[in-house]
Structure 1
Amino acid sequence: FQNKMAKLSKENLLLLFTVLGVAIGIGLGYSLRDPNQAWSKRHLSYLRFPGDLFVQMLKMLILPMIMSSIITSLASLDSGTAGRLGIVSMTYYTLTTFAAVFLGIVLVTLIKPGKWTTTNVEDLVGHVKTTPCVATAVDTVIDLMKSCFPENLIEATFRSQKVCLKFFNGTTEIPPEIAMTMSPEQRAQFTEVPEKIVSDGMNILGLVVFSVALGIVIGIIGEDGKPMKNFFKSLEACSMKLIGWVIMYSPIGITFLIAAQIVGMKDPGQELHRLMGYVITVILGLLIHAFVIIPLLCVVLARRNPIKFVGGMAQALLTALATSSSSATLPLSIKCCEENNKVDPRVTRFVLPLGATINMDGTALYEAVAAIYISQCVGNDLSLGEVILVSLTATLASIGAAGIPQAGIVTMIMVLIAIGLPTNLFILIFPVDFMLDRLRTTVNVHGDSIATAVIERLCEDQLQKGGHHHDTNDQGYSMLSTNASPDPKRITIGNNCENSHML
């Protein structure tokens, strides 16, 4: 009892310090702002340094945690249970993403934030930096499928590939900054050449697919796969121990991340006034999705109290708000789901890494609202067909969005291309993207966490057949059993085969 009380007190103190970190960061940011003289990038990097350390330490642990947790979880399941987990997860994620996109389109069409004020588009677009890559919806789908099967697994841990379009007039390449300002009709006059671009960044989706396949195979081959299963279980335990140390540093990192972002903004008041309608529309959509749609699914499908569940996820949600990275928040999301909300580790360690990669409800809603808002600003009223195209493209773009800060503004360019708008118009919403990026990331993490409860409930029968694994280590993390197998005295596998746990 004393150990439980000590652990509870420690968790409450950490949550309290995290909340204080957010408040102190906001106060520190506004106190250090100088309206007459902007901070240099070098000085901002000094202020952001403690926060950068926090984010980098979390990202450092993403690879070992994702692979070990997925492989260990699926190795404990029979192929039927793993298959149902995958099907239910993909179906649920697709439906919630479409719901978010539909909600965003309805709100932006009714509110019409682009008509609230007159926007000087030419002045703003004239100062925009070019984006490094142009891709169509078809290219994004192909890239998504290719990224599931990386040709080099080692390379996938630090590098990813995508297809970008380049335009040529004969043998002369059209500069990207010129090509991006052209209309689709103007681009059609030049030769369009797709080119594979290799960029730094982990191919998380490819690693997830490989880990899923390897985990299932280890479970199928039985005794021959036991050494591999034990290795990844040990790696998982080490990763979770390291994550516990990093989380203790989170209040300090969050404080300086928020302070640096506020100091770096040129004029928060003026930018917010111009984009007031857009900000209200996005926030209203995120609130409806987070406090109405998702909790309703939690009550109806998971039969759990959404208020209590969200309370258990408070620390992860605050970290998502500060870091604006669902991938960086992933270790903490797993910890909160398992320890505070008592979700089966076999579900959390499969559903959450997958959700951090493809389930971006907040990002999908934002991209739909942003594309239609920009079209309203330039006086281009979209047809019904174009609105449907926005919904489909926003869904694909959100799936392709990496779980890193401001990835949504990059994938939104694909939505602009799909409806024939110049891609450099994204500068119209860029000034407030810092704030909205944090809010939509928090909604993404919130949706992923509720998904674990829903999927655990929907797959309850299959999980019971595989036994329960809620053992905890000395640090309090929920761990799978050594052999990830059920109690041989209670459960048998197959027709007449006894579980080999005691053999």
Structure 2
Amino acid sequence: MQKNPCRSGRTFLFLNGSLFTGNSVLIFAGLLGIFTGWLHLPEFYQASQIVSDLFIRMLKLISLPVIFFSLVSTLSGGGDISTVKKMGSSVLKYTLVTTIIAATIALGLYLLIDPLGLSLSRQTDQFMQETSVNLWTHFDKVIPSSFIEPFQTHNVMSMLFLALLFSFSVICLEPKHRSNLNAFYDSMFAAVMKMTSFVLKLMPLAVWSFVNLFVQDLHGQEVLTELALYLACILVANVIQAGVVLPVFLKSKGFSPWQTARVMWPALTIAFFGKSSVAALPSSVECAEKLGVQSNVARFSLPICTTINMNACAAFILITVLFVAQSSGVAFSTFEMVVWIGIATVAAIGNAGVPMGCYMMSSAFLAAMGVPLQLLVIILPFYALIDMFESAVNVWSDACVTVMVNKELQEELVEEFVEKSGMVANKEATQESL
């Protein structure tokens, strides 16, 4: 279940080379879009519509393959379950629990803050009336009738089901076949990411078109207020997860959250400024060992957590997809919102721990759903700070999970020792009585 360094390294280079070296170009494109949008010329508006439509069509072309191969290449590399029974099950347990909690908190805050001013009571009443009729329909749409159906219909939930089924099947194969298939899926993921890099070369032109359309369609300050509330949802959700939920887990295992954070501070700093949990991995291992975590546990748990334990990413994906989709007129029932907790959890687990990974995953979901991405591009300038904060939260969660896994293993060793000691004592007593 160790992380494939080639996969994360390729993605990291792709993101750095294709996106971050062009920050000045993107900023210029955005400013140009504001200027041309302010001019309100119909020629610019028509050109922007054409460019944005073509860009979205290309994103839809690659969106589902990106999600599918990202998930399968990550999850199918889990290794033989029997060989990592103790550590693997503990890491997976805490990863799932903390990520689900993070997504649940994100949904709760989104509904509470309600950045778009939608009526939750109205949605709830509609849900209560339609649940008995449509509940089976939701599940029926998840299971495709053919392999290519999810890609033809752009059904994200169906594709996630297919990816999970494939991953589980690969893990259950013999090591030889599992290794070959994982290498194949990993290579396919690299090829799709290379295709994505070609599409993203048009990002400056797309930014200009999206911003131009956004400015021309902007009326008053309502959208800016909604955007501020959206950002508040994400930041508050991450603060609660990092400052309340994870410390409660640590306290339950007898650890001081403050002491743990103090020792992990170098790794958290690297993650914050590097915008990558992968970049912080060497420092995370070193800091964890200083906390008293066994070396083999730290070197096993942290690489896995860097791959699959993305608490902040789950919160970002859920809030961003709901916000951008609802801003474009997409309606979600309460049931569908709850389902998105699971989707965001699975997507976060399959997401690579690299800069802008959550943003790319969210854009892939929205593109697959056919949602216009203008608002997502407006979010892009703010994501630089969000990504820094989320990377630090993810590394903090990795550290907490690793510390708890180490504690559980120590407790299991003690129990085994006591049991064996009791067996020896009983055996000696029996021999004496005979």
**TM-score for the superposition, normalised by structure 2:** 0.56
Measure the CA separation in 2 of the matches of 1:102 and 1:113: 17
Partner of 1:459: 409
CA gap of 1:152–1:376, structure 2 versus 1, over 3 A, is closer
Contact between 1:374 and 1:428, CA under 8 Å: does it hold in 2?
no
Measure the CA separation in 2 of the matches of 1:407 and 1:287: 20
CA gap of 1:272–1:160, structure 2 versus 1, over 3 A, is farther
Aligned AA for 1:351?
A: S
Partner of 1:293: 245
Gaps of 5+ in 2: 1-22, 33-77, 119-153, 172-177, 196-210, 212-220, 425-434
Pair 1:382-2:332 in alignment: yes
Helix, strand or coil at the partner of 2:293: coil
- Which structure carries more strand by proportion? 1
| 1:338 pairs with one of 285, 289, 299 | 289
CA gap of 1:465–1:153, structure 2 versus 1, over 3 A, is farther
Query: How does 1:389-468 map onto structure 2 within 5 Å?
Result: 389-413=339-363, 415-416=365-366, 420=369, 422=371, 424=373, 426-463=376-413
Partner of 1:362: 312
Partner of 1:248: none
Contact between 2:328 and 2:371, CA under 8 Å: does it hold in 1?
no
Count of residue correspondences: 282
Measure the CA separation in 2 of the matches of 1:273 and 1:423: 20
Query: How does 1:241-390 map onto structure 2 within 5 Å?
Result: 275-300=227-252, 302-339=253-290, 341-390=291-340
CA gap of 1:160–1:345, structure 2 versus 1, over 3 A, is farther
Partner of 2:114: 112
Partner of 1:99: 101
CA gap of 1:322–1:276, structure 2 versus 1, over 3 A, is same
Partner of 1:179: none
Partner of 1:161: 189
Helix, strand or coil at the partner of 2:180: coil
Pair 1:151-2:180 in alignment: yes
CA gap of 1:421–1:385, structure 2 versus 1, over 3 A, is farther
CA gap of 1:363–1:423, structure 2 versus 1, over 3 A, is farther
Measure the CA separation in 2 of the matches of 1:310 and 1:434: 23
Aligned AA for 2:234?
A: V
Query: How does 1:126-145 map onto structure 2 within 5 Å?
Result: 136-143=156-163, 145=166
How far is the alpha carbon of 1:375 from its aligned partner? 3.4
How far is the alpha carbon of 1:282 from its aligned partner? 0.6
CA gap of 1:344–1:438, structure 2 versus 1, over 3 A, is same
Q: Deviations over 1:336-389 (max 9, x none)?
A: 1112x1211121111111111111000001111112222342344421121022
Contact between 1:313 and 1:333, CA under 8 Å: does it hold in 2?
yes
How far is the alpha carbon of 1:299 from its aligned partner? 0.3
Contact between 2:281 and 2:302, CA under 8 Å: does it hold in 1?
yes
Query: How does 1:217-228 map onto structure 2 within 5 Å?
Result: none
Contact between 1:136 and 1:417, CA under 8 Å: does it hold in 2?
no
**TM-score for the superposition, normalised by structure 1:** 0.49
How far is the alpha carbon of 1:37 from its aligned partner? 9.1
Helix, strand or coil at the partner of 2:189: strand
CA gap of 1:409–1:150, structure 2 versus 1, over 3 A, is farther
Q: Deviations over 1:296-352 (max 9, x none)?
A: 00001x21100010010111111111111111211111111112x121112111111
CA gap of 1:337–1:135, structure 2 versus 1, over 3 A, is farther
Measure the CA separation in 2 of the matches of 1:376 and 1:335: 44
Contact between 2:310 and 2:394, CA under 8 Å: does it hold in 1?
yes
Aligned AA for 2:180?
A: E
How far is the alpha carbon of 1:142 from its aligned partner? 3.9
Contact between 1:89 and 1:455, CA under 8 Å: does it hold in 2?
yes
Percent sequence identity over aligned pairs:
24
Q: Deviations over 1:106-130 (max 9, x none)?
A: 00111012349xxxxxxxxxxxxxx
- Which structure carries more helix by proportion? 2
How far is the alpha carbon of 1:159 from its aligned partner? 3.6
Aligned AA for 1:368?
A: L
CA gap of 1:37–1:414, structure 2 versus 1, over 3 A, is closer
Contact between 1:394 and 1:415, CA under 8 Å: does it hold in 2?
no
Measure the CA separation in 2 of the matches of 1:113 and 1:94: 28
Aligned AA for 2:281?
A: L
How far is the alpha carbon of 1:423 from its aligned partner? 5.7
Measure the CA separation in 1 of the matches of 2:416 and 2:281: 25
CA gap of 1:346–1:374, structure 2 versus 1, over 3 A, is same
Measure the CA separation in 2 of the matches of 1:452 and 1:137: 30
Q: Deviations over 1:462-502 (max 9, x none)?
A: 455899xxxxxxxxxxxxxxxxxxxxxxx99x99xxxxxxx
Measure the CA separation in 2 of the matches of 1:94 and 1:392: 10
Measure the CA separation in 1 of the matches of 2:234 and 2:109: 9
The root-mean-square deviation of aligned C-alpha atoms, in Å, is: 4.0
Measure the CA separation in 1 of the matches of 2:341 and 2:395: 21
How far is the alpha carbon of 1:435 from its aligned partner? 1.3
Partner of 2:35: none
Contact between 2:328 and 2:372, CA under 8 Å: does it hold in 1?
no
Deviates most, 342-351 or 93-102:
342-351
Contact between 1:361 and 1:398, CA under 8 Å: does it hold in 2?
yes
Contact between 1:160 and 1:200, CA under 8 Å: does it hold in 2?
no
